[in-house]
Structure 1
Amino acid sequence: MNIKILSRNSGLYSTARLVEAAKKRKHNVEVIDPLKCDLIIEKKKPSVYYKGRYLSETDAIVPRIGASITYYGTAVVRQFEMMGCFTTTESQALVRSRDKLRSLQILSRARLGLPKTVFTNYSRDVAEIIDHVGGAPLIIKLLEGTQGLGVVLAETKNAAESVIEAFNGLQARVIVQEFIKEAGGADIRAFIIDGQVVGAMKRQGKEGEFRSNLHRGGTAEVIQLTDDEENAAIKAAKAMGLGVAGVDMLQSARGPLILEVNSSPGLEGIEKATGKDIAKSVIRYIERGV
Structure 2
Amino acid sequence: MRIAILSTNPDLYSTQRLLTAVRERNHEGVIVNHLNCHVMIEGGRPTVLLDGQELDQFDAIIPRIGASVTDYGCAVVRQFEMMKVFTTAKSQAIMRARNKLRSLQVLSKAGVGLPKTVIANHPKNGNVNRLIELVGGPPVVIKLLEGTQGIGVVLAETAKAARSTIEAFYGLKKHVLVQEFIAEARGSDIRAFVVGGKVVGAMRRQGIDGEFRSNLHRGGNAIPVILTEQEEQTAINASRALGLKVAGVDMLPSDRGPLVLEVNSSPGLEGIELATGINVAGHIIAYIEEKILGDESDMVGV
TM-score (norm 1): 0.99
Q: In the alignment, which residue of structure 1 is the partner of 2:113?
A: 113
Separation in structure 1 between the aligned mates of residue 100 and residue 141 of structure 2, nearest angstrom: 14
Instruction: Give the TM-score, by structure 2 length.
Output: 0.95
Higher mean C-alpha displacement, 86-95 vs 35-44: 35-44
Query: Deviations along 1:115-140, whole A, 9 cap, x unmatched?
Result: 00000001111110010000000000
Query: Counterpart of 2:253 in 1: which secondary structure?
Result: strand
Cα distance in 1, alignment partners of residues 173 and 15 from structure 2: 36
Q: 2-side partners of 1:24 and 1:213: how far apart?
A: 30
Q: Deviations over 1:227-261 (max 9, x none)?
A: 01000000000000000000000000000000000
Matched residue, 2:298: none
Mapping 1:1-290, distance limit 5 Å: 1-124=1-124, 125-290=127-292
- Distance, in Å, in 1 between the alignment partners of 2:291 and 2:174 is 40
**1:94-150 Cα deviation digits (max 9, x unpaired):** 000010000000000011110000000011111100100000000000000000000
Which structure has more RCO (C-alpha within 8 Å, separation ≥ 6)?
1
Task: Say which SS state the counterpart of residue 166 (structure 1) adopts.
Answer: helix
**Partner SS state of residue 121, structure 2:** coil
1:7-57 alpha-carbon deviations (Å, 9 max, x no partner): 001100000000000011111111000010011111221111102311111
Could you say what secondary structure the match of 1:260 adopts? Answer: strand
Cα RMSD (Å) of the superposition? 0.6
Percent identity over the alignment is: 61
Amino acid at match of 1:172: K
2:67 and 2:224 map into 1 onto residues whose CA distance is 27
Q: Give me the whole-angstrom Cα distance separating, in 1, the residues matched to 2:151 and 2:286.
A: 33
Give the AA of the match of 1:223: V
Say which SS state the counterpart of residue 280 (structure 1) adopts: helix
Q: Give the Cα–Cα distance (whole angstroms) in 2 for the partners of residues 229 and 131 of structure 1.
A: 28
User: Aligned equivalents of 1:88 and 1:266: distance in 2?
Assistant: 14
Q: Output the CA distance in 2 between the equivalents of 1:67 and 1:193.
A: 21
Code of the aligned partner of 1:230:
E
Q: Which structure 1 segments of 5+ residues have no match?
A: none
The CA distance in 2 between the partners of 1:240 and 1:218, in whole Å, is: 27
Aligned equivalents of 1:43, 1:188: Cα separation in 2: 46
Higher deviation after alignment, 9-18 or 38-47:
38-47
State the shift of 1:183 in Å.
0.1
Distance 1:31 1:178 in 2: 41
Which whole-Å CA distance do the structure 2 matches of 1:40 and 1:126 have between them?
47
Alpha-carbon distance in 2 for matches of 1:75, 1:289: 23
Q: Distance in 1 between matches of 2:9 and 2:173?
A: 33
Separation of aligned partners in 2, 1:90 and 1:201: 25
Q: Could you report, residue by residue, the CA deviation over 1:155-179 in whole angstroms, capped at 9, with x for unpaired residues?
A: 0111001101111111110000000
Secondary structure of 1:11's counterpart equals coil
Give the Cα separation in 2 of the matches to 1:25 and 1:54.
26
Deviation of 1:288 after TM superposition, in Å, equals 1.2
Partner secondary structure for residue 43 of structure 2: coil
Partner-residue secondary structure (3-state), 1:255: coil
Map Cα deviations across residues 183-241 of structure 1 (whole Å, 9 max, x no partner): 00000000000000000000000011000000010000000000010000000000000
Alpha-carbon distance in 1 for matches of 2:264, 2:237: 14
